[in-house]
């Protein structure tokens, strides 16, 4: 250490107010005060050292705290990781329970569907029902029966696809020595209305319902249904009737009102009435042994029909 540093330290120790007086005193008392000054300087230095030591201790404490904190952080992270690892097998459970909850919320709808179809033999529980422009499609099949009708202005004429299929079938039948022809094909709403009203005028509405479809409720209005050969029970048991029953599905047709299915179709057995569905569905329906109503899980009842009343008819 040298003097200029001491001086600066001493100067720093004085207040501004007494600076001038202090200089005078310094000049006069310079010699006797040297020891005193040295002692004060030593004290100051000791205080500074102590302060430095204290600062160092503080720094060490601070570092220890930081170290402890980071250690705690690491431990905390480790705990979180372990917990996450433990809970990860539970996550699929919660996910699956969410799925099952979703399935449960969907279930009532499904149950309602199946309960609405309760009492019916329904191999396919869910069917897509679409209603557009007054027409009903179940699984994309246009449905016309006592429950589902067609609007007055639906007049497609005979289906070319169905006629072509019939012609192929007729050719095949001819090859087997059987002759098949269309007795009655497309019927417009107005034609059906005339037919029905004729019966109703003759025999009353109740009787008319037994022998004819109400206007809008005849499958003939679709252009996809044909009465083949003879529309009387004389047809049943003929070679043509047997051939039709055995082979019509190969050409895309079904016997629409099968024997023993009056309750579901709403019509008595009509061995002559065929409906075009396309080969795939016609074969499926025929092989199922079900009526189309049973196959699609639908009803065939006029809205005003009282339950249990036998209103099946002969000429659909
Ligand atoms: Zn018919």
Whether residue 304 has pLDDT greater than 90: no
- Of residues 279, 291, 63, 69, the one with CA closest to residue 164: 279
- Please indicate, yes or no, if residue 14 is contained in any of the structural domains: yes
Q: Is 154 left (phi over 0), alpha (psi -120 to 50) or beta?
A: beta
User: Residue 169, exposed/middle/buried by CB under 10 A (0-12, 13-18, 19+)?
Assistant: buried
Ranges 6-10, 77-81, 196-200, 273-277: which has the least confidence: 6-10
157 CA to centre of ligand 1 in angstroms = 15
The pLDDT value recorded for residue 35 is 80
Distance CA 201, CA 311 (A): 18
The residue out of 87, 115, 149 marking a domain boundary is 87
58 CA to centre of ligand 1 in angstroms = 105
Contacts 24+ apart (CB under 8 A), 112-121: 117/297, 120/264, 120/294, 120/297, 121/290, 121/294
- Please indicate, yes or no, if residue 303 is contained in any of the structural domains: no
Same-domain status, 234 and 138: yes
- Please indicate, yes or no, if residue 198 is contained in any of the structural domains: yes
Rg of the chain, C-alpha, whole Å = 51
CATH number of the domain enclosing 216: 3.30.1380.10
The pLDDT value recorded for residue 235 is 95
Q: Which residues contact 178 (CB under 8 A, 6 or more apart)?
A: 239, 240, 243
Same-domain status, 66 and 165: no
Same-domain status, 240 and 151: yes
Same-domain status, 78 and 163: no
Same-domain status, 138 and 230: yes
231 CA to centre of ligand 1 in angstroms = 8
189 CA to centre of ligand 1 in angstroms = 14
226 CA to centre of ligand 1 in angstroms = 6
Going through the chain in order, the beta strands assigned E by DSSP cover 129-132, 135-138, 141-143, 182-184, 225-228, 253-257, 270-276
Same-domain status, 142 and 241: yes
Determine the distance from the C-alpha atom of residue 182 to the mean position of all C-alpha atoms in its chain, rounded to a whole number: 44
124 CA to centre of ligand 1 in angstroms = 27
Same-domain status, 141 and 264: yes
Are 270 and 316 a contacting pair, CB within 8 Å?
Answer: yes
- Please indicate, yes or no, if residue 304 is contained in any of the structural domains: no
116 CA to centre of ligand 1 in angstroms = 29
Same-domain status, 133 and 282: yes
Mean pLDDT across 30-52: 74
- Please indicate, yes or no, if residue 58 is contained in any of the structural domains: yes
Are 184 and 226 a contacting pair, CB within 8 Å?
Answer: yes
| Alpha-carbon dihedral angle through residues 227, 314, 270, 180, given to the nearest 10 degrees | -30
pLDDT digits (tens, 9 = 90+) for 92-149: 333 333 333 333 333 333 333 444 444 455 555 689 999 999 999 999 999 999 999 9
288 CA to centre of ligand 1 in angstroms = 22
User: Residue 230, exposed/middle/buried by CB under 10 A (0-12, 13-18, 19+)?
Assistant: middle
270-276 and 253-257 as β-strands: parallel, antiparallel, unpaired? antiparallel
Same-domain status, 158 and 224: yes
Q: Residue 76 to residues 23, 50, 72, 79: CA-CA distances in angstroms?
A: 64, 38, 6, 5
144 CA to centre of ligand 1 in angstroms = 12
The residue out of 35, 66, 87 marking a domain boundary is 87
Number of structural domains in the chain: 2
The pLDDT value recorded for residue 3 is 44
Same-domain status, 133 and 42: no
- Please indicate, yes or no, if residue 24 is contained in any of the structural domains: yes
- Please indicate, yes or no, if residue 313 is contained in any of the structural domains: no
Whether residue 48 has pLDDT greater than 80: no
User: Which residues are found with C-beta within 5 Å of the ion, ligand 1?
Assistant: 227, 273, 316
315 CA to centre of ligand 1 in angstroms = 6
Same-domain status, 82 and 182: no
pLDDT digits (tens, 9 = 90+) for 62-93: 767 556 646 665 556 665 555 655 554 433 33
Query: Could you list the residue range(s) of the whole structural domain that residue 72 is in?
Result: 3-87
Same-domain status, 285 and 161: yes
Mean pLDDT across 181-188: 97
């Amino acid at each position: 250490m040298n003097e200029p540093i001491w001086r600066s330290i001493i100067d720093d120790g004085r207040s501004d107010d007494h600076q001038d007086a202090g200089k005078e005193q310094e000049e006069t008392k310079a010699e006797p005060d040297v020891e005193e000054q040295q002692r004060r300087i030593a004290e100051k230095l000791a205080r500074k050292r102590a302060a430095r030591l204290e600062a160092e201790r503080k720094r060490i404490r601070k570092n220890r705290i930081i170290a402890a904190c980071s250690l705690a952080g690491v431990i905390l992270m480790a705990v979180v990781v372990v917990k996450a690892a433990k809970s990860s097998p539970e996550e699929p459970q919660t996910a699956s329970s969410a799925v099952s909850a979703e399935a449960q919320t969907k279930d009532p709808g499904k149950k309602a569907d199946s309960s609405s179809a309760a009492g019916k033999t329904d191999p396919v529980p869910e069917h897509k029902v679409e209603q557009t422009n007054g027409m009903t499609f179940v699984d994309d099949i246009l449905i016309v029966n006592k429950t589902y009708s067609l609007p007055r202005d639906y007049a497609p004429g005979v289906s070319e696809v169905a006629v072509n299929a019939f012609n192929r079938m007729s050719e095949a039948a001819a090859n087997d020595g059987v002759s098949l022809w269309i007795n009655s094909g497309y019927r417009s709403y107005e034609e059906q209305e005339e037919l029905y009203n004729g019966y109703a005028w003759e025999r009353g509405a109740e009787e008319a319902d037994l022998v004819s479809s109400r206007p809008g409720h005849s499958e003939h209005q679709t252009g996809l249904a044909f009465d083949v050969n003879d529309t009387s029970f004389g047809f049943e048991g003929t070679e043509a009737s047997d051939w039709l029953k055995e082979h019509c599905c190969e050409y895309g047709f079904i016997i629409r009102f099968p024997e023993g299915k009056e309750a579901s179709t709403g019509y008595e057995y009509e061995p002559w009435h065929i409906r075009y569905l396309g080969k795939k569905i016609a074969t499926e329906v025929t092989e199922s042994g079900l009526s189309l109503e049973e196959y699609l899980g639908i009803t065939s009842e006029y809205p005003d029909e009282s339950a249990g009343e036998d209103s099946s008819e002969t000429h659909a």
